[in-house]
Amino acid sequence: MDKRIEIISGDITRSDADAIANAANTSLLGGGGVDGAIHRAAGPELLAECRTLGGCETGRAKITKGYRLRAKYVLHTPGPVWSGGGHGEAEKLAGCYTSCLELASRYGCKTVDFPSISTGVYGYPVDKAARVALGAISAYLAGHPEIERVRMVCFDERTKRAYDEALAGL
Ligand code: APR
């Protein structure tokens, strides 16, 4: 099990990681949930920069500055909406984590924090999502020593338990 992966409870808008991921939608123009929280904490310049990006497809990621956040960068990634599991949801979700980490490496980020992508409004079952997320993160880290720490920042106890169990099963 890769010691660089940590599961913590907390509010990702308070993170001091080099980059935090945002569970966005394909417009990249903000929303509710963690997307709304990150935009509120980063301030209006974040939306202004997002407007220049022309959206992002599900399972990919785009990077912006962090503005008023402690994190230097925000990695915006639209996760898949859960529709039963037979529509490539797992591959798209894995792509969110891999795409964010690829951008983090490219921009010299050594620490990256993630919220639990797609397990809120998008309805992805958190136990399944946790296994996909940690599988993708550990696979990426195996070939990328430049990333020193990746944390899952869990906003509630149920999510924390799901990621703790998934990490133990890696
Ligand atoms: N810090 C960390 N995690 C948070 C925070 C926070 N401040 N706020 C919410 N979360 C958690 C939720 O509890 C959930 O576990 O983020 C996870 C993802 O939930 P959502 O924010 O609903 O994201 P998602 O399910 O990917 O749906 C994305 O919701 O907000 C809109 O614009 C967004 O359309 C997009 C959709």
CA distance 63 to 41: 17
* Closest listed residue to residue 117, CA positions, set 20, 4, 14: 20
Nearest atom (ligand 1) to Cα of 13? 7
pLDDT for res 73: 99
Please identify every stretch of the chain with a pLDDT value under 50, giving residue numbers as ranges. none
Cα(89) to ligand 1 centroid in Å equals: 17
Is position 35 annotated as part of the catalytic site?
yes
Nearest atom (ligand 1) to Cα of 30? 32
Count of domains observed in the chain? 1
Catalytic residue among 35, 113, 127, 156: 35
Domain that residue 159 falls in: 5-168
Question: Residue 140: what residue type?
Answer: Y
> Which CATH number is 14's domain given?
3.40.220.10
Which residues are CB-contacts of 64 (< 8 A; sequence separation ≥ 6)? Answer: 46, 49, 50, 53, 73, 74, 76
Mean pLDDT of the chain: 98
Q: 8, 34, 77: which to mutate for ligand 1, most atoms within 8 A of CB?
A: 34
pLDDT for res 1: 83
